[in-house]
Chains A and B, each alone.
Chain A
Amino acid sequence: GEDVEQSLFLSVREGDSSVINCTYTDSSSTYLYWYKQEPGAGLQLLTYIFSNMDMKQDQRLTVLLNKKDKHLSLRIADTQTGDSAIYFCAELRNPQTGANNLFFGTGTRLTVIP
Chain B
Amino acid sequence: DAGVIQSPRHEVTEMGQEVTLRCKPISGHNSLFWYRQTMMRGLELLIYFNNNVPIDDSGMPEDRFSAKMPNASFSTLKIQPSEPRDSAVYFCASSFSAAGTNNEQFFGPGTRLTVL
Contacts and interface: CB of A to CB of B under 8 A. Distances in A.
A92 B91 contact: no
Given A101-B55, A106-B42, 15 more contacts: A31-B103, A33-B104, A41-B109, A42-B91, A43-B105, A45-B105, A48-B104, A92-B103, A99-B55, A99-B56, A100-B50, A101-B45, A102-B105, A104-B43, A106-B43
Interface residues of B, number: 23
Chain A interface main SS type: strand
B110 A100 contact: no
Contacts of B97: 100
Contacts of A102: 103, 105
Contacts of B82: none
Interface of B: 4, 31, 33, 42-43, 45, 48, 50, 55-56, 91, 93, 95, 97, 102-110
A92 B108 CA distance: 20
Nearest to B44: A104
A88 B43 contact: yes
